[in-house]
Amino acid sequence: MKKMFCLLLILCLLPAAAPADGQQGTSNYLYTIHGEAVSAPPAYTLAYSLTARDYPELDALDGMTDAYVSDDAIYILCAKRLVVLNHDLTFRQAVTSYTDESGKETELDACSGVTVSPAGEIYITQSEKSQILRFNPDYTLNQVMGRPEITGYENVKYRPTKMVVDSAGRLYVISSGMYEGILELNGDGSFTRFFGVNAVTFTPWQLLWRVFATREQRARQSLWLPSDFTNLCIDQDGFLFATLVSTDKKTVKRLNAKGENIIKVPAEKEYPSGDLWFNESGFGIPTGSSRFIAVDTNAYGVYICLDSTRSRVFAYNEDHSLLFVFGGPGDREGYFRNPVDVAFVDDNIVVLDALAQSIEVFSPTLYGKALMNAVRNQYEYGYGTAADYWREALSYNHNLTLAYSGIGRMLLREDRYEEAMTYLKMGEDRTYYDKAYEKVRTARLRKWFVPIACVAAGLVAAGIVIGSVRRRKRRREESER
């Protein structure tokens, strides 16, 4: 009996979801709509790790700062070189110098960000030199963009760190220390406006403290400044995704043409902000909330954010629901020592580890493939196919409420409302559950309205007849008296 009890206890302590493919992953968990952490199989695992030893053409990969993936190449930026790879991670070219406007050969140095325009022009930001280098597709220098003229900001240091270029040729530049927002520049580098301006946010405690603090205490307090952006990218619809250091949970934003954040989530759902539970204090462990320092998107609405606090990658779908998490701090496979950027490369995900001087390549497991195929088909309105992939994903992870929701939405579109309600309830999808319930209620009313109305009319008519008969009988009895 004692042995049986121990066996049952061990079985209860086993993870609820077994890893797909038999592979071990890192940070295998998800959050429910109630903010509870539940186990999950790994969606992405380390396929291989690349260092300078894997590229005879390179001396080192030290000082990695940024990555950009175009349709046919991967641009890995280091402090003193630009490494260009093919999508299969084979070597294509390395750029370590350029001929400047005076004809002098100049070494690349203090590089911080790289992006490529739709026309194939390469832009490299040099934060410490307060300039942006614009190269032609053949890597010859086209223009050196210095500090733009911004009225009222002549004494504010210009330090461009990251940037992107949209389809119209507009430049969006993050300048460290400029808290007014992202700089929007014309194609020639002239200033247009501040984009995506962040308002200063205060906690109730800060406001209360400010009321009762003395002048000396307020003078010693650090300045209350708007949030500072850390990275950005342009998604498949032309909107700007940006990560930022924020006092609230909104550490990633999707900005429209007006610079307004269009990430909207229901009141019962958590805003995409990384870990919901974390240590506030401790020694030798990461503490504090997640801090997103990089973001990238794929062609069907999935976006990934890199958390520098706990070295993890968080993936969300177009509805801003958490899909999977991987990574973590450490020296083991699948973990990172100092990740600085993350990017999609086809179906794979690449993470740059600056301290390890390595390019970490993660590929999807069978569970990850089912999950991403479901999301892609749902994004492309292939709800039936998406439901098949959701069912496959459920075979690996029965904690995946998103799969129940996806199947429920497909059943709703097929007018199978009662079945849809069952799945949507398991998926905790209140919005679509209400829609299914409304359809069921309407269908029941339509089915029973005529019979109920006829019965009611019959009862009324019967009441009238009975009442009439009784009155006649009463009158007859009175007349006989």
Query: Which ranges in the chain are annotated with CATH 1.25.40.10?
Result: 378-481
Question: Tell me, what's the pLDDT at 302?
Answer: 97
- Convert the pLDDT of each residue in 69-103 to its tens digit: 999 999 999 999 999 999 999 999 999 999 988 88
User: Is 2.120.10.30 the CATH number for 26-377?
Assistant: yes
Return d(Cα 241, Cα 340) in angstroms, integer.
17
Return d(Cα 382, Cα 374) in angstroms, integer.
9
Q: What dotted CATH number matches 378-481?
A: 1.25.40.10
Question: Tell me, what's the pLDDT at 219?
Answer: 53
* Regions of the chain short of the pLDDT cut 70: 1-26, 198-227, 247, 443, 446-449, 481
DSSP state for residue 21 in the 8-state scheme: G
CB neighbour list of residue 341: distance below 8 Å, 6 or more residues apart: 64, 65, 66, 67, 231, 293, 294, 306, 351, 352
Question: Tell me, what's the pLDDT at 232?
Answer: 96
Return d(Cα 399, Cα 367) in angstroms, integer.
13
3 state DSSP class of 405: helix
Identity of residue 125: T
CB neighbour list of residue 145: distance below 8 Å, 6 or more residues apart: 131, 132, 133, 134, 185, 189
Question: Tell me, what's the pLDDT at 12?
Answer: 42
H or E element that contains 35: none
Query: Which ranges in the chain are annotated with CATH 2.120.10.30?
Result: 26-377
- Where helices occur in 302-361 by DSSP H, the ranges are none
The residues that bridge with 194 in the sheet, in sequence order, are 183
Exposed e or buried b per residue across 463-481, where buried means at least 16 C-beta atoms within 10 angstroms of its C-beta: eeeeeeeeeeeeeeeeeee
Please report the DSSP string for 224-282 in residue order. Answer: ----EEEEEEE-TTSPEEEEEE-SSS--EEEE-TTS-B-----TTS--S-S-SS--SS-
Cβ contact 302:1 at 8 Å? no
Note the pTM of the prediction, 2 decimals: 0.84
Question: Tell me, what's the pLDDT at 212?
Answer: 60
- Convert the pLDDT of each residue in 249-285 to its tens digit: 789 999 999 999 999 998 878 999 999 988 888 777 8
